Amino acid sequence: MGRKNLLEHLLTSSGEKPSGPTQVVAQLPTARKPVARGVGVVGAMSESFEAMAADLRESKEKIETGGLVVEISTDLIDPSFITDRIGDGGDMEEFVSSIREHGQQTPILLRPHPELEGRYQIAFGHRRYRALKILGRPVKAMVKALTDNELVVAQGQENQSRLDLSYIERAIFAARLEARKFPRDVICSALNVDKTEVSRMISVATVLPDDLVELIGPAQKTGRRKWMDLAKNVAQLNWKSEKVRILETCREGNLVDSDQRFDLVLRNLLPTQPGVMADIQAVSVPSFKVEKKPGLIRIRFNETNLPKDIVEELMSRVRDVCSSLGVKS
């Protein structure tokens, strides 16, 4: 299924679609049965109130089934009950500036808050919500009644479709869903990966200390294999005794780039061992051939003279790219 249609069933009610993703839709109320008229001014007021109540009921139904794009104050909105980012997602100032200049281009998805009447909870669109809150503007949103399972699937798949989350953010998201006792099939649907990959993600996120991951950051360019290497080496440490040294080393590097901080930490965990990436650069990788047929893409190369760990790194990169594009293995 194409990414643009991935969440369509959550954004539209049955047999009905909003007229545009950025427009606050105003729809004429459907025909109603005539209200019995009273006499004089009192009768006219009664009829007016009945019509108003019917319009409100109709609008409320359309909002709750996802049939309208509406504007809602940020003061009435709460974040999702489960976070899927490290920090604010980066480049927040630039993002706020873009929305200030061009406005909100895409609505966010909300559900009526399951515990607080009159409030809403975000399924996806947290960065847009935060930017609009900073700007003091209302949020354009679709509102739909969602179960917890539907919310986390929508949240995970929307980020997946925008190639927005890094590997470690997706791994942490999986681990948090696991901790909240969500079924594995729901976690797989949210991240669009199979159960084997979900297990790897949860294993990595569980081993790595929260303060280390927070200090490193999302590391957008760092793939699964390197995070697995880091988790493996952290698992072999006495983290309590090594924590201060590792964290201070990372801070003293004064590196703005998250991927560079990751590499710095990994080098300090492996002070005498060459990393897999250095091995790849030192080996002459054979030429490869790409074959494309209808419905099939095949990549061929001779792995005979390559070390096993390098072959696994190459395969890991292919899987990471496919996963980021929503292609199931």
pTM: 0.60
283-293: pLDDT as tens digits:
444 566 777 77
* 109 shares a domain with 90: yes
Q: How many domains does the chain have?
A: 3
* Amino acid identity at 13: S
Per-residue model confidence (pLDDT) at position 171: 93
Rounded CA gap, 256 and 121, in Å? 33
Highest mean pLDDT among 94-108, 248-262, 271-285, 307-321: 94-108
Q: Is 97 a domain residue?
A: yes
* 97 shares a domain with 13: yes
156-195: pLDDT as tens digits:
877 666 656 789 999 999 999 999 999 999 999 888 889 9
Mean pLDDT of 206-212: 91
* 59 shares a domain with 86: yes
Structure tokens given for 257: 């780039």
Per-residue model confidence (pLDDT) at position 252: 78
The CATH code of the domain that includes 100 is 3.90.1530.10
29: which DSSP letter?
A: P
* Domain span holding position 29: 1-160
Burial class of residue 78 (count of CB atoms within 10 Å of its CB; 0-12, 13-18, 19+): middle
- Stronger pLDDT, 311 or 230, i.e. the higher one: 230
